[in-house]
Structure 1
Amino acid sequence: MNLLAYLSLATGLVVTSVFAPTRLLNAPVDRPSAHSLTFTPAIDPGLTRMLPPVYFCGESVPLHEEAVARRLVSALARNTNQNQAIYRIRKRASVFFPIIEPILSRHGIPLDFKYLPLVESALTGMAVSPKGAVGYWQFMPATARELGLAVHAGYDERTNLVKSTNAACRYLRYLYTRLGSWTLAAAAYNNGIGALLSNIRRQQQRDYYYLRLNAETGKYLYRILAFKELFSNYKSYDHLIPERMMAYLSEPLTPDSEPDEDEVLLPEVIVNEATQVAIDTPVQETAKPLAGQTADIPLPNAADVFRGGIKAKLVESAGVARGQVWVFHLTRDGMADGKQVEEGDVLYAIVEDVDPKTDKIYLRADRLYSANEKHTYMMNLSAIDASTGRIGIKLPDVDQIKAGWILTWKTL
């Protein structure tokens, strides 16, 4: 059963049209599509069981929540009708990702953010939104200048892949430091940090998946996840994805071949002048601020990053593999996920991901056993790098992962 057929049965969804390729990837990101999918509240509970585990920057996507699973399947459904368009953007990504990935790594930004410009611009340097956002990463002029990019008549560094990617990394690092979560950083990239913080304060909720946001921002991360899953894990969806789309996802890429006229993804040639300049620019180049500008956005006080963190030492590890459960003992009293915790309480953590490219391990604690109360509480804590406040711990040599390894944990 293909994805749209399953959606129709599981949610009562009536599909009235098929999106044209240019509608999917040429639509401006700051304007909701007129063809958005609408779901009824009813859903087959089996949907969540049909999806593999999904992670964004080491953070687990809570697909056990039916609403979350429904939104991800909706984003996948939008893309699985774009057979030729998806193949075209796969070809573009095969050229640009090797340029983007080293820049992300140099700035300490998770590689999952390489899919963000697919949503923003379909990786097109000359993409322009109705509001004036330009380039691969879709910066407004004022934001671009604050990030050190030159924007003036006849010369716009937003169309330079290397320089705009460096700028995007500085901006994402700033958003993450302010918000403490990569999912929230992605949402703030789309909607602005001020609007997102306002929603967080008003709703008293810091989890993207449970925040009530505007339609565009509410779907934004799912659109990124849809590209990630289709490009890197499509075989896990072979029971949902139509056979024709599976063929396009598995077809060998031939970047140098000329596209047929009816397969052109956007109203411009795939390798335009700005793109060629970006490809020819060495990856080692870093964006230089304009005269009188700082090299980076000012970051908040480090104390804001660590507020609410607790320390716990490892007492038992089952192995360095996704899904393994590790046991930690708290080393001092503190607050965790809104609860008073005490030294000696037991923290049960799951290895959510191990990234060999960055040599990092991602741990999330889902339960805490109170030694004093003899009771187990559900928790939502992540291990963070104590030096940066970011999720993900640099993986030491395997023989160093033993009893006594102390990590910092924080509610995100």
Structure 2
Amino acid sequence: MSTKQITKIAVIAITSALITSFIFLTTFANKRSQPESIPTTNIVTDIHPVPVVKSMPIPSVVLFANDTLPLDRNYVVESLDRELLVNSYWQSSTLILLKKSKRYFSIIEPILKKNHIPDDFKYLAVAESGLSEVAVSPSGAKGLWQIMSGTAKDYGLTVNTSVDERYHIEKSTEAACKYLQHAYDKFKNWSLVAASYNAGKRGITKQMDLQGAKTYYDMLLNPETARYVYRIIAFKLIFENPSKYNFILNREDYYPPFQTYQVTLNHSIKNFSTFAKDRGISYKELKYYNPWLRKPYLKNSKHRSYTILLPKKAKQKSL
């Protein structure tokens, strides 16, 4: 056999060996990367289930302050459906509102009842401020009930550089009740009263006259007021039955009511920081319970009586 023939046979043998090794290594690597014991087709489904997005239920009968919604009208159903979807799927925001509700409703409900205002109007406060007594709108409305400065003074609230009772939960709720009762005396219908809180009594009256309408559900209104009452009703439905709208809360998830005692001031306070420290709390904590005190001092030359709240852990010290 010639040298050329031997070289040709050797090349063929080496090439064959290399091909065999490549096939073996590729097969082995594939087996290691995909073990037969793991059902690869189910990995994604098992670890990351596909979220379900579904419509929210609308009861066959819906009431707001004993006013029955005309659900036989398509635009009424669709308007309510929109607000239910927006507030059900804006989960973090609505969940926070639900957690705050026990604290603030415990203050609002007795005041509404005392003033003969339907309990459903507590959801108007939810829609207005998100249950925040320090909320401020771009137009300058402030507090839990989003009251303008002029309206506040009309209904007996003090608004000046050092005191703004629009931030006072009890007093602002009392003022809101006066407005709502005056509006009811005019409209004799609670849905129109709620709409007037957004558009004003004159605004609603003008549209009723222009359109010859007698109810909120008959009127064509600006986009904000057109959604306003439906939004309040959506909050009512969600808050009354959270689990129905996919909000699961335990009793301990709700923020507890404030645990405080009252102190009456009828004189000036030079420094609220010192006032707070003398009672074993911080200035921040004092303002947390009394956001209506707008300055770190109180000018009270007329010796007007103010009631402030202190946490129960604070020292009870004579003034």
TM-score of the two chains, using structure 1 as the length reference:
0.49
Q: Do residues 95 (structure 1) and 108 (structure 2) align? A: no
Change (3 A) 1:173 1:115: same
What is the match of residue 70 of structure 1?
78
Instruction: Tell me by how many angstroms 1:274 deviates.
Output: 5.6
Distance 1:81 1:89 in 2: 13
Instruction: Tell me by how many angstroms 1:217 deviates.
Output: 0.5
C-alpha contact 1:71 1:219 (8 A) present in aligned 2: yes
Q: Do residues 183 (structure 1) and 191 (structure 2) align? A: yes
Equivalent residue runs for 1:284-303 within 5 Å: none
**Unpaired stretches in structure 1, ≥5 consecutive residues:** 8-46, 258-270, 279-290, 292-412
What is the match of residue 289 of structure 2?
276
Name the aligned partner's letter for residue 176 of structure 2. Answer: A
Secondary structure of 1:173 counterpart: helix
Q: Deviations over 1:10-44 (max 9, x none)?
A: xxxxxxxxxxxxxxxxxxxxxxxxxxxxxxxxxxx
Equivalent residue runs for 1:8-407 within 5 Å: 51-234=59-242, 238=244, 241=245, 246=246, 248-255=247-254, 276-277=289-290
C-alpha contact 1:231 1:249 (8 A) present in aligned 2: no
Name the aligned partner's letter for residue 126 of structure 1. Answer: V
Instruction: Tell me by how many angstroms 1:272 deviates.
Output: 7.4
Name the aligned partner's letter for residue 183 of structure 2. Answer: L
Secondary structure of 2:205 counterpart: helix
Instruction: Tell me by how many angstroms 1:249 deviates.
Output: 4.0
Distance 1:97 1:210 in 2: 31
Change (3 A) 1:73 1:106: same
Distance 1:256 1:170 in 2: 28
Instruction: Tell me by how many angstroms 1:254 deviates.
Output: 2.7
Change (3 A) 1:223 1:104: same
**Unpaired stretches in structure 2, ≥5 consecutive residues:** 1-50, 257-283, 292-303, 305-319
Instruction: Tell me by how many angstroms 1:149 deviates.
Output: 0.3
Secondary structure of 2:107 counterpart: helix
C-alpha contact 1:3 1:77 (8 A) present in aligned 2: no
What is the match of residue 381 of structure 1?
none
Change (3 A) 1:212 1:89: same
Instruction: Tell me by how many angstroms 1:96 deviates.
Output: 0.9
C-alpha contact 2:155 2:179 (8 A) present in aligned 1: yes
Asked which structure has the greater CA Rg, the reply is 2
Name the aligned partner's letter for residue 86 of structure 1. Answer: T
Instruction: Tell me by how many angstroms 1:252 deviates.
Output: 3.3
Distance 1:199 1:3 in 2: 42
Distance 2:53 2:77 in 1: 14
What is the match of residue 43 of structure 2?
none
Change (3 A) 1:107 1:144: same
Q: Deviations over 1:184-228 (max 9, x none)?
A: 000011100111100000101011011011110010001100110
Name the aligned partner's letter for residue 138 of structure 1. Answer: Q
Secondary structure of 2:251 counterpart: coil
Name the one with the larger helix percent: 2
Distance 1:75 1:57 in 2: 18
Distance 1:154 1:124 in 2: 20
Q: Give the superposed CA RMSD.
A: 2.6
C-alpha contact 1:161 1:275 (8 A) present in aligned 2: no
Change (3 A) 1:162 1:204: same
Name the one with the larger strand percent: 1
Secondary structure of 1:127 counterpart: coil
Q: Deviations over 1:152-175 (max 9, x none)?
A: 112100000000000000000000
Residue identity over aligned pairs, in percent, reads 35
Secondary structure of 2:136 counterpart: coil
Distance 2:74 2:193 in 1: 23
Instruction: Tell me by how many angstroms 1:5 deviates.
Output: 4.4
Change (3 A) 1:118 1:249: farther
Distance 2:285 2:223 in 1: 32
Name the aligned partner's letter for residue 208 of structure 1. Answer: Y
Secondary structure of 1:152 counterpart: coil
Change (3 A) 1:273 1:75: farther
Q: Deviations over 1:285-327 (max 9, x none)?
A: xxxxxx9xxxxxxxxxxxxxxxxxxxxxxxxxxxxxxxxxxxx
Change (3 A) 1:256 1:205: closer
Change (3 A) 1:3 1:138: farther
User: Alignment length, in residue pairs?
Assistant: 216
Q: Deviations over 1:246-278 (max 9, x none)?
A: 1x3444343459xxxxxxxxxxxxx97566238
Distance 1:94 1:273 in 2: 22
Name the aligned partner's letter for residue 76 of structure 1. Answer: L
